[in-house]
Chains A and B, each alone.
Chain A
Amino acid sequence: MSFKKVEECERTKLEHFLSKFQLPHPFKKVGAGIVVLSFVLLTVIKFIDTEPSWMRLFLKHVMIVGLLVISISREKIEDELIEILRSKSYALAFIIGVVYTMLQPVVNYVVNMILGTQEEVDNVYYFEVLLFMLLIQVGFYELLKRNR
């Protein structure tokens, strides 16, 4: 049996699907560009009084798309160690994301008590959670990759 066939035996159909689901390596830079651009524009419109109401939400969504593009872009050489590091970073981002989602209302409540403000404390916005999880995934993946 050739090595190619052995390799195919070890891979399930789901793994095949996931490997095809990834974007080519150059998309990593495209994703980074989208994130930087949306971040700059979000910072700029913060100082503009007459910004359209949909603009902020739109740019936040663009930023999440940019991070997702970085997250699912392949490496130049996508080997088994990279796959393991990527899996670890997703697992870590999921666990930290769940803990963050559970703790954030409590932290908000405590901060509001200290500051004496009256803000909604039981809402965790999906944007914050998604942004946090994607940032954790991308950050830890790069960290693991550098220390491999």
Chain B
Amino acid sequence: MKDSTDAELVVQAKLGDRQAFGELVRRYQGAAYAVARACTGSHEDAEDAVQEAFVVALQRLEECRHPGKFAGWLLAIVRNRSRNLVRREKLRMAEPIPLDAPETSRGPAAEAELATLRQDLEEALAKLPQVQREIVLLYDLEGWKHGEISERLGIPSGTVRSHLHFARKALRAELSGWKNHEEAV
């Protein structure tokens, strides 16, 4: 399954192949999470949106006209579900995701520092336009290349580079108090 193309996996998933659909989830859950996080601004909502989006994508798989471009199509669904979820979020109490609590080996002080950095980073990201949030998360968190972002988000490559440049610049300005928040490419 790992060697199969997206198009092949989509065809198999249409027939109800659990392994094929599972491989699509494995490939794109990180990107879906990055986009959902950019839209919702919170980890819990992003998780919800990712789970919803994959199930909706499976239900609407026949609408994916170009199975080779599954990723871009999926991310559009993630974006829509995230926006809907944010709207709904205002009306309902958030329910916890039934995932086990993570076990960490860090000490309380390190955990507290990470939590603070995470909060500052989230606040800095929240000040960016959504498209810049998506691009910087897909590039710097998920590790996608300019070309992949361009193709899958339907944005010209030059625009992707420009958004990335300005997003990084803004993040740097917001997080200037943190010494180790960047690394050389």
Say if A and B assemble together. no
